[in-house]
Structure 1
């Protein structure tokens, strides 16, 4: 996917140098200044790689977590897992791929009104990365609803995780399982509606309208730079 492929080497070098400062200074201008000095990258090149300074580095850190999660999922054997467990596993891997204090600082940054839209976009990209890695082949309105639902699950789980002091974050794992179970209940209700002739007729018109919604161009293709095509078919699982 475009958001996680082809990381900029200079930005990644600046990010590596910034991480030790983020815990103390947050994703502020001081961190970027220190990263430039510590990395040996010239100030001019640093500005090209990260025009917004630490904001770009914070976004790069989030995307790095997505890439590490995708790599772990591709290397794992998930064939024996239920699909809802694959999703939970993916979210859990994503949490393990990052430093909690660095994420906490990032949440503070992307909760600011000026960056809130970008923070929402990054969460959406994580949900998209998970669904794509798990082989989602939907190309209609389900493409959007799957990612919107998982974005909510992921965001709420991260917030819970940031305040979780339980050993091994067992409370976070339980919270994540509950959120996914809630989503599965919604999907079961939708299946019930589809199986009921009277209710199906009632929703025929809105369903016809929604059937006209298509996924963005390039989704599901492996011949377009920056896209990836899943190997497992999850298209029938709007879980």
Structure 2
């Protein structure tokens, strides 16, 4: 186990009391015997980097669980629901609550958005999504909204087995599916079809990120340009 993993394990017992903070990081150093200077090199922004590392660990655990599960008998919307539920079940509610409080601060909002977008992206990729056009973005944006609202509901859910959360998740996904159906009917409209063949063709140039050179999440034109 790496020192980063040791610190991440050790800090979790302190986060409910001290949050994802410098205080919690120092306590983890005392517990593990890892020098504070080394810990700061591993997590330069202290609690923020620890919270992000915890989130990424949860994402990895979710991916492992999804790959191990047999989802062939499930409808695709049920696979999405299973993935979101799995992601929540591998997490500790109080640690997530503390993380959301941290990422809600203006100076850390970008990190929170990056974590959320990353989770949505991993779910789509693990479930086999191969879109490389504007749908790459809309799918992740939609799922990010579903996931974030479900997390907020889950944090306040005291129902046995979190059954209220899973029911809420199903309703949110059903709402998205209905929207997709409406969107499909709109696209079949003659006027909309004419627009998409004219000015709307600009959307054809939007591509999913390949290996970005600029660091921005996508590019204009062909992939890799």
What TM-score does the superposition give when structure 1 sets the normalisation length? 0.85
Tell me by how many angstroms 1:36 deviates. 1.1
1:94-113 mapped onto 2 (5 Å cutoff): 94-113=87-106
- What is the aligned partner in structure 2 of residue 67 from structure 1? 60
SS at match of 1:164: coil
1:189-204 mapped onto 2 (5 Å cutoff): 189-204=182-197
- What is the aligned partner in structure 2 of residue 166 from structure 1? 159
- What is the aligned partner in structure 2 of residue 184 from structure 1? 177
What TM-score does the superposition give when structure 2 sets the normalisation length? 0.90
| Coordinate RMSD, CA, aligned | 1.5
Tell me by how many angstroms 1:92 deviates. 0.1
Taking the aligned partners of 1:183 and 1:64, their CA distance within structure 2 comes to: 28
- What is the aligned partner in structure 2 of residue 124 from structure 1? 117
Contact kept, 8 Å, 1:11 with 1:57, in 2: the verdict is: no
- What is the aligned partner in structure 2 of residue 28 from structure 1? 21
SS at match of 1:117: helix
* Deviation string, structure 1 residues 94-128 (Cα, Å, up to 9, x no partner): 00011001111111111111111110110000000
Residue 143 in structure 1 maps to residue 136 in structure 2: yes
Tell me by how many angstroms 1:206 deviates. 4.7
Taking the aligned partners of 1:74 and 1:206, their CA distance within structure 2 comes to: 41
Q: Which runs of 5+ in 1 are unaligned?
A: 1-7, 220-239
Tell me by how many angstroms 1:88 deviates. 0.5
* Deviation string, structure 1 residues 134-190 (Cα, Å, up to 9, x no partner): 011001110011001100110000000000111111111111111111111111112
Contact kept, 8 Å, 1:153 with 1:179, in 2: the verdict is: yes
- What is the aligned partner in structure 2 of residue 229 from structure 1? none
- Which of the two has greater helix per residue? 2
- What is the aligned partner in structure 2 of residue 232 from structure 1? none
1:217-228 mapped onto 2 (5 Å cutoff): 217-218=210-211
Residue 38 in structure 1 maps to residue 70 in structure 2: no
Taking the aligned partners of 1:24 and 1:38, their CA distance within structure 2 comes to: 16
- What is the aligned partner in structure 2 of residue 53 from structure 1? 46
- What is the aligned partner in structure 2 of residue 209 from structure 1? 202
Runs of 4+ in 1 over 4 A off after TM superposition: none
- What is the aligned partner in structure 2 of residue 237 from structure 1? none
* Deviation string, structure 1 residues 28-53 (Cα, Å, up to 9, x no partner): 21101101111121222111111111
